[in-house]
Amino acid sequence: MSNLEFTHRRRNQLTGDWVLVSPHRNNRPWKGAAEASAAAPTADHDPNCALCPGNTRANGEHNPDYADTFVFANDFGALIPTQSDSAEISAEEELFTAEVANGECRVICFSPVHSKTLPEMTQAEIGKVVDTWQQHYSELSASYNCVHIFENKGEIMGCSQPHPHGQVWAHDHWSSEIAAEDRNQQLYFDKHQSALLADYVDREIAEQVRVVIDSAHWLVVVPFWAAWPFETLLLSKDPVASMADLDAGQKDDLAGVIKELTTRYDNVFKCSFPYSMGWHNAPKNLDSDSHWRLHAHFYPPLLRSATVKKHMVGYEMLAESQRDLTAETAAKILRDVSDIHYKKG
Ligand code: H2U
Ligand code: ZN
């Protein structure tokens, strides 16, 4: 299906949520807030940065003089490895349902260079980040059912540290997003005996209009049901359900795709493009993961410029997501910008 110019709704097949698309609103005058554009760090090392090599973190520990990636247990982790079951919590209480949540949180520094974001790193350097993701996914998924690997980038996304880094949160329970994606992928598989995202990859390649990057092993699209203006979905073209299963060729190709995608993002408004991105792996405690396909979501907030973001407020909070720019137009903008970073152009 191509660009629809009338108001319509699209269904997110992974979550079951709907998004209202209103293409005619795109030209309305904008007198709303412009966020202050955070100045990107320029120094390669910041003596006050908790993530730079050799510096001291909030808990008094010293970071080693690391050469590529560096991982540490989050000093303020939201999840704690072992807690005894609290007698105060009862999953049986209908109106006050709660459950114990155990887990671990880690921080992954992507590079020793304070000012280098992913698009400014080489494919080989990004490859080290991919290897680190895989290593920590494999290690933590031996103990926990659900491992979330993600990156918050930019002050606008609440990122507290400008030093390039991501996080890993691992826990036994299925997070709400994983539970919804599992349910919808399973329903599709039961109906068609094929994986939802495998069929989706084939359809998007056939239609082309929402494709941003098509590599040997990966496909990047602005998904048909995108809610954020420049949201993308990075999909494995191979039947892979988790990061643990990626081989060297798939990982190297992935590093190149991440470099190209984040470069294209930066080039849209000639700024360090903020986003939250993260991986969705099949949870560990499944009888079969044939209905799953490894993928990553990129959710950037920017709408019109480096300083004007999409606000998910009013109708979005009370009803459902709404967008003006169609997924097809956003994909065209991302395809049309250069794949050479603007700072190098
Ligand atoms: P953001 O990805 O939202 O910027 O979070 C960075 C994490 O780094 C945050 O979860 C952790 C914070 O707890 N951190 C440490 O563990 N130690 C520090 O000394 C600074 C920040
Ligand atoms: Zn730093």
Cβ–Cβ < 8 Å for 229, 310:
yes
pLDDT, residue 137, reads 98
- Which residues are part of the catalytic machinery? 165
pLDDT, residue 151, reads 97
pLDDT, residue 94, reads 85
Distances, alpha carbon 291 to alpha carbons 24, 60, 282, in Å = 37, 45, 9
Q: Which atom of ligand 1 is nearest to the CA of 75?
A: 16
57 in contact with ligand 1, CB cutoff 6 A:
yes
pLDDT, residue 40, reads 77
Q: Which atom of ligand 1 is nearest to the CA of 166?
A: 2
Residue 41 tokens, joined: 């760090």
The Å distance, Cα 222 to ligand 2 centre, comes to: 32
d(C-alpha 330, C-alpha 315), whole Å: 22
Closest by CA to 224, choosing from 326, 119, 97, is 326
* Residue to probe by mutation, ligand 1, list 46, 108, 160, most atoms within 8 Å of CB: 160
pLDDT, residue 27, reads 59
CATH superfamily, region 44-79+98-338: HIT-like (3.30.428.10)
pLDDT, residue 34, reads 65
In a 10 Å sphere around its CB, with 0-12 CB exposed, 13-18 middle and 19+ buried, how is residue 67 labelled? exposed
d(C-alpha 270, C-alpha 154), whole Å: 14
Domain ranges of the chain: 44-79+98-338
The Å distance, Cα 257 to ligand 1 centre, comes to: 27
Q: Which pTM value belongs to this model?
A: 0.95
pLDDT in tens, the chain (345 residues): 667 788 999 999 999 999 999 988 765 655 666 666 667 778 999 999 999 999 999 999 999 999 999 999 999 999 999 876 666 676 678 888 888 899 999 999 999 999 999 999 999 999 999 999 999 999 999 999 999 999 999 988 888 889 999 999 999 999 999 999 999 999 999 999 999 999 999 999 999 999 999 999 999 999 999 999 999 999 999 999 999 999 999 999 999 999 999 999 999 999 999 999 999 999 999 999 999 999 999 999 999 899 889 999 999 999 999 999 999 999 999 999 999 999 997
Rounded to the nearest 10 degrees, the angle between the axes of helix 123-141 and helix 248-269 is: 120
161 in contact with ligand 1, CB cutoff 6 A:
yes
User: Which residue type, as a one-letter code, is found at position 148?
Assistant: H
